[in-house]
Amino acid sequence: MVSNESLILVIEDQPDHRKSLIEILSFHGYRTLEAADGATGIRTLQEESPELVLLDLKLPDMDGLEVLRWVRSNMPEVPVVLISGYGTVAAAVEATKLGAVDFLEKPLRAERVLL
């Protein structure tokens, strides 16, 4: 379960979106980590063990679904929420089949992120 003091990893390649998410989460008491690509995100997961991952679908080095598959295989206890500006029903269904707990479309609203 994610509480207000939980450690959340934000994997998002767009600096403005990443910063915005981190500001929202920090304002509400969450501790945050950040990664701008999938490889850095996986490395951070291995080193820090966050309680939740907010994961962009489109990353510069790999597809967000690849990162989701890695998390499900290696750290199945960590919930992953996929985020995308290119949200489609097919992408949301695929993410859910792979184990994402939610799929959020950009632009993100603070109240939706905090649910």
Report the CATH number that the domain containing residue 98 is assigned in CATH: 3.40.50.2300
So what's the pLDDT on residue 95? 87
So what's the pLDDT on residue 93? 83
- For 48-81, how does the pLDDT look when each residue is reduced to its tens digit (9 = 90+)? 999 999 999 999 999 999 999 999 999 999 999 9
Q: What is the mean pLDDT of residues 86-93?
A: 75
- 1 occurs within a structural domain: no
pLDDT surpassing 70 at residue 112 = no
pLDDT surpassing 70 at residue 108 = no
Strand ranges, E, within the chain: 7-11, 31-35, 52-56, 80-84, 102-105
Domain assignment of residue 59, given as a range: 7-113
Q: How many domains does the chain have?
A: 1
- 69 occurs within a structural domain: yes
- 32 occurs within a structural domain: yes
